[in-house]
């Protein structure tokens, strides 16, 4: 009898899950992983012979397995049961090298392909240090690489004579690991960023973001579960910029403070570490008391803008960092109630999102350009809008990668169509929907 039960139970499991697939509702995206789920591939003999069709079927089954989300979250219990974590123990996890998904969503193809060009992505496929549930990259950049970034900034300064060009590169969170033996990452970050300063010329202006953050290193400036800086870290980056630009930074208490809880960001998604999960981030952020109107454009042209917002209050969970500008859009124009005629361009990766929102305190118009996704000709934008200041607000890895430096350089020459968006037919998006954040976008 026991033998029959053994066989029947086995059959119930191997037949039960496929049957559950047919009766359960289907999802097309995973909010926790911040990505779209695979769709079932249409069959063609070429794809089959190349072995890609079967791989896509595997991906589809993996992505749509019944109770998938529950299974993924339950995995933590298995990993926790393997042993025990010492208090204040340090742990190193190795993130596997990413493999691009075979299935590329048509609307996001540009983003995916661009993101994979970023050497930063490859560098993130390495060792991560986990201390007390906070994840830190191990490293602090390379002073030798800094000159390539500085040369690119100098080119902007030479090309756009009369426009002030600022370098505001954010250090890595490794600079502020609260353990003495990792102090060398602090000095390594410092040396890397100072090397940018030493190589800037032609009027390009250095913002001492590291120095400003370092003065406040006793507070938590970076997320523990995400690779971005916290809004407070971005604020000190903004203070450093103001000092370099001769502006007076708006004090935090002159802005509206808000809080979001239970943020498990990219570092958790990639490490899946139970101790990280046990320490979700709380995000305090500050909304300037300035009236703003923002529109976003597609990667290739500016003739079909749609409304967007500087702050997406509805972003939550894994998308909490998308509170700022709704995540990474190729190009955003923000117009403010500050009628001083000043205009700025912020060239950024996602690190710059939390930074750019503070600039609404000082400029009438701000163009936020994503260095990876915008295909528009930045030269035309700068000249036709009489831009006063250009700010490079990027995380350090973007400044360390020849791939991303090349992208920033190409912004001025690429051939996207610029149409002055003076009277746009604004398309109203569903602003309460969760903004899409590309899972491959790590910075």
Give the residues lining the site for another protein (CB under 8 A). Answer: 2-15, 17-18, 48-49, 51, 54, 57-58, 61-62, 65, 68, 71-72, 74-75, 78-79, 81-86, 89-94, 96, 99, 126-127, 129-130, 272
Angle subtended by helix axes 109-117 and 402-410, to nearest 10: 130
User: 17 vs 261, which CB is nearer to another protein?
Assistant: 17
User: 46 vs 432, which CB is nearer to another protein?
Assistant: 46
User: What DSSP assignment string belongs to 198-217?
Assistant: HH--TT-EE--HHHHHHHTT
Shortest approach of another protein to residue 81 CB, angstroms? 6
User: 275 vs 350, which CB is nearer to another protein?
Assistant: 275
User: 33 vs 151, which CB is nearer to another protein?
Assistant: 33
User: 90 vs 119, which CB is nearer to another protein?
Assistant: 90
User: What DSSP assignment string belongs to 92-125?
Assistant: EEEPPPP---S---GGGHHHHHHHHH-HHHHHHS
Shortest approach of another protein to residue 372 CB, angstroms? 25
User: 103 vs 272, which CB is nearer to another protein?
Assistant: 272
Shortest approach of another protein to residue 210 CB, angstroms? 23
Least Cα distance to 214 among 236, 196, 230 occurs for 236
User: What DSSP assignment string belongs to 332-401?
Assistant: EEEEES--S--EEEEEE-GGGHHHHGGGGGT-SEEEEEETTT--B-HHHHHHHTT--EEEEE-BHHHHH-
Shortest approach of another protein to residue 181 CB, angstroms? 8
Shortest approach of another protein to residue 231 CB, angstroms? 29
Least Cα distance to 212 among 195, 193, 185 occurs for 193
User: 72 vs 194, which CB is nearer to another protein?
Assistant: 72
Where is 149: in which H helix or E strand?
helix 143-159
125 C-beta neighbours (distance < 10 Å), count: 14
User: 82 vs 339, which CB is nearer to another protein?
Assistant: 82
Dihedral in degrees, nearest 10, Cα atoms 211, 217, 219, 222: 80
User: 68 vs 191, which CB is nearer to another protein?
Assistant: 68
Shortest approach of another protein to residue 47 CB, angstroms? 10
Complete edge-to-edge strand list for the sheet that includes strand 134-137:
90-94, 127-131, 134-137
Least Cα distance to 390 among 244, 292, 255 occurs for 244
Query: Which residues face 94 on adjacent strands?
Result: 127
Handedness of CA 153, 353, 366, 364 (dihedral sign): negative
340 C-beta neighbours (distance < 10 Å), count: 10
**Across the chain, how many H-helices and E-strands are there?**
16, 15
């Amino acid at each position: 009898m026991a033998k029959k039960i053994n066989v029947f139970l086995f059959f119930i499991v191997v037949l039960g899950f496929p049957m559950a697939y047919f009766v359960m509702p289907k999802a097309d995206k995973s909010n926790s992983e911040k990505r779209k789920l695979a769709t079932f591939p249409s069959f063609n003999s070429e794809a089959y012979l190349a072995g890609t069709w079967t791989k896509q079927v595997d991906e589809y089954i993996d992505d749509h397995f019944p109770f998938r989300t529950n299974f993924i979250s339950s995995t933590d219990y298995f990993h926790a049961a393997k042993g025990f974590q010492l208090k204040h123990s340090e742990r190193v996890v190795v993130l596997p090298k990413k493999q691009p998904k075979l299935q590329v969503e048509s609307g996001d193809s540009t983003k995916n392909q661009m993101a994979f060009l970023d050497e930063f992505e490859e560098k993130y496929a390495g060792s991560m240090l986990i201390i007390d549930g906070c994840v830190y990259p191990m490293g602090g950049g390379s002073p030798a690489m800094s000159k390539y970034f500085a040369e690119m900034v100098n080119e902007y300064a030479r090309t756009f004579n009369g426009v002030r060009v600022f370098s505001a590169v954010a250090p890595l969170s490794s600079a502020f690991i609260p353990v003495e033996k990792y102090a060398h990452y602090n000095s390594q970050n410092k040396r890397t960023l100072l090397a940018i300063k030493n190589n800037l010329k032609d009027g390009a202006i250095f913002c001492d973001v590291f120095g400003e953050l370092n003065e406040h290193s006793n507070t938590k400036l970076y997320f523990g579960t995400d690779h971005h800086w916290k809004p407070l870290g971005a604020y000190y980056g903004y203070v450093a910029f103001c000092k370099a630009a001769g502006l007076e930074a708006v004090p935090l208490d002159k802005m509206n403070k808000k809080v979001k809880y239970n943020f498990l960001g990219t570092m958790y998604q990639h490490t899946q570490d139970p101790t990280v999960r046990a320490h979700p981030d709380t995000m305090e952020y500050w909304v300037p008391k300035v009236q703003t109107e923002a529109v976003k454009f597609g990667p290739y042209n500016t003739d079909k803008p749609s409304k967007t917002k500087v702050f997406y209050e509805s972003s939550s969970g894994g998308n909490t960092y998308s509170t700022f500008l709704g995540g990474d859009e190729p190009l955003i124009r923000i117009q403010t109630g500050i009628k001083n005629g000043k205009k700025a361009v912020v060239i950024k990766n996602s690190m710059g999102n939390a930074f750019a929102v503070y600039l609404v305190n000082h400029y009438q118009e701000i163009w936020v350009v994503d260095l990876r996704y915008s295909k528009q000709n930045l030269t035309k934008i700068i000249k036709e809008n009489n831009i006063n200041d250009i700010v490079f607000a990027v995380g350090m890895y973007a400044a360390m990668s020849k791939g991303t430096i090349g992208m920033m350089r190409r912004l001025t020459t690429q051939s996207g169509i610029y149409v002055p968006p003076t009277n746009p037919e604004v398309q109203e998006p569903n602003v309460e929907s969760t903004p899409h954040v590309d899972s491959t976008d790590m910075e």
